[in-house]
Amino acid sequence: MEGFGYACAVVLAVVFVRAAVAKAVRPAETTAGFVALGVPSAPRTARVVPAVELILALALLAVPMIGGAAALVLLGAFTGFLARALRAGVTAGCNCFGQARADPISGLDLVRNVLLGLLAAAALSAEQPVVPAIGAAAVVAAAVAAGGLGLRLARTRLVTHPRR
């Protein structure tokens, strides 16, 4: 499918821009969320992470192979940090998209990052920016919608029926 990898890169760039902007416009809340999660050097990290996410979004759009590789590294770091926090029993919200949730981090945050990692892996196949074929764009849109809906339903179930 012509442009499949680039369509994945574009979607992932949008996700990173949304996350970066949400963090950047509420710096105090972002810092507080990072502190609650135990992020090292939280005040500084709360300023650096949105900038890195914006640069990564630009890389995904301009040089998708490099952006995809960098996204895999960053998502791997985020996922590793969340996994350690889960094992340590951290009960703070993720703050991954700029707002602290009332519900604590969970395995669903790891699943979300794996799904985003699949987009990054697909972006590795895009040698350059191209206009995706309608079929490729439709497949990516359907996959993203299904993944997002599945995560939302699972999170709703987790919140309304927590484990005891």
Using only C-alpha atoms, the chain has a radius of gyration, in whole angstroms, of 16
Whether the pLDDT of residue 44 is over 90: the answer is yes
C-beta of residue 9 within 8 angstroms of C-beta of residue 126: yes
The pLDDT score that the predictor gives to residue 101 is: 58
Domain residue spans of the chain: 4-160
Q: What's the rounded mean pLDDT across residues 34-55?
A: 95
Share of the chain above pLDDT 70, in %: 93
Of 128, 162, 150, give the one whose Cα is nearest residue 10. 128
Q: What's the rounded mean pLDDT across residues 135-143?
A: 94
Average pLDDT score, the chain: 91
The pLDDT score that the predictor gives to residue 100 is: 55
Whether the pLDDT of residue 14 is over 90: the answer is yes
CA angle 149, 144, 102 (to 5 degrees): 45
- Contact partners, residue 117, CB within 8 Å, separation at least 6: 71, 72, 75, 76, 79
162 pLDDT band, cuts 50/70/90, is low
Helix 4-24 and helix 27-37, axial crossing angle in degrees, nearest 10? 100
Maximum Cα–Cα distance for the chain, whole Å? 49
The tens digit of pLDDT for each residue in 97-124 reads: 876 556 788 999 999 999 999 999 999 9
The pLDDT score that the predictor gives to residue 95 is: 80
**Sign of the CA dihedral 56, 6, 21, 29?**
negative
Of 23, 79, 83, 28, give the one whose Cα is nearest residue 52. 23
